[in-house]
Amino acid sequence: MAPKSPILIVGARGIQGHEGGVEKFAEEFVQRLARDRPVHVLCLTAPAGPVHENIVVHTVPKMKFGKTDKLLYFVYAMALQARHRFPTVMILGVNFAMLVPMLKTIVWARPRVFVRSGSVDYTLAKWGRFARAFIRASESMMRIADGSIAVAPSIQKHLSGVGIRSTLIRNGLETSGDTVPLASRKDGKVVAIGRLTHQKNYRCLIAAAGHLGDSEAHITIVGGPDLSGEAEALRGMIAAGPQARVTLAGMLPRPEVMEVLSHAMLYVNCSHHEGMSNAVLEAIQQGTPLILSDIEANRDLQLAEHHYFDETSAEALAGKIREALAMPDRFVVDRSRFDNWDVITQRFAASMRLA
């Protein structure tokens, strides 16, 4: 049997131990794709541990320019393609879709290029006028890609609205193995997972803690800071207010994150902007009761109405936390409703017509 063709994947900071939806996808996807073909991945950091023999990680220097550390991705991606002549390149994220026309200018090694869209980032206030215009222009380059994949119905709807056809392939989760029974979990343990960014809306969660009073609820927020200074603002809220039962745990390795989720009595996603949250899917995977902000991305999961709350109201969030802790079984989601990562990888391979 002839060996299968290699693929280059661009857009993740790393494939081991990194926070972020793109990084979670890359970690799960790359290791499965490498079971039957060479996979080259362009990252900011090399893996700390061993990887599959079919995985080659290329690293680029970190730099901070315009609040991004990925600028050199473009140069390195072009150089890799010119040198190795990959027949297929997969771009993780609209922010890098400007690579589509750039890669296609390499006439002696022109690849098929596919773009995965995991969110609509240019609506966020953190981006300045230039960055927003660049991301819009980058997104428009998906029209000349060989294929585009949206991870949620709302993203597919957005892409269709700007004239980009896409295939819907959601993120996955692990559907095997046992979960920790709710009776064995710590009463009142509430967790939120994700980087300390403005769009995660942790200010609302900290304010909600103040409305819980002397209840048994204790909230732990797991996630590292970004470059915006949001982490300092959250620490200030905790120090200045009555919310003594909130802990910022910082970034944890993924196995520890899963351990935290497996012993929590409630997971909270209070974001006012998301793509398709892997942390939500991980909570479902671990059998953890959950409540979600009432935004389009979370509605894409099509959960029962009682899982959702108004993310603009700390009082509403506090009330929903009380309700979920009082009746946790009602807030557990059946994980068999979702596909596992093996199925997701197969769908991507079929969509990209990998030979």
Q: What's the CA gap between 88 and 284, in Å, rounded?
A: 33
pTM passes above 0.85: yes
Question: Lowest-pLDDT range, 95-99, 213-217, 309-313?
Answer: 213-217
- Beta pairing class for 167-168 and 147-150: parallel
The domains of the chain, with CATH numbers, are: 7-172+339-351 (3.40.50.2000), 182-336 (3.40.50.2000)
Contact present, 211 and 184 (Cβ < 8 Å): no
Burial class (CB in 10 A: 0-12, 13-18, 19+), 274: buried
pLDDT band at 65 (very low <50, low <70, confident <90, very high): low
One DSSP character per residue, 106-144 reads -GGGPPEEEEEE---GGGSTTS-HHHHHHHHHHHHGGGG
Q: Which residue has the tokens 């690849």?
A: 111
Contact present, 191 and 261 (Cβ < 8 Å): yes
Strand partners, 347: none
Strand partners, 90: 9, 114
Residue 67 pLDDT > 70, yes or no?
A: no
Structure tokens at 48: 């700390």
Q: What is the pLDDT of residues 217-259, one digit of tens each?
A: 899 999 998 878 899 999 998 888 765 689 999 999 888 999 9
What confidence score (pLDDT) does residue 229 get? 87
What confidence score (pLDDT) does residue 16 get? 84
pLDDT band at 19 (very low <50, low <70, confident <90, very high): confident
What is the average per-residue pLDDT within 193-209? 92
What confidence score (pLDDT) does residue 242 get? 63
Instruction: Please provide the average confidence, as pLDDT, over all residues in the chain.
Output: 89
Q: What's the CA gap between 324 and 316, in Å, rounded?
A: 12
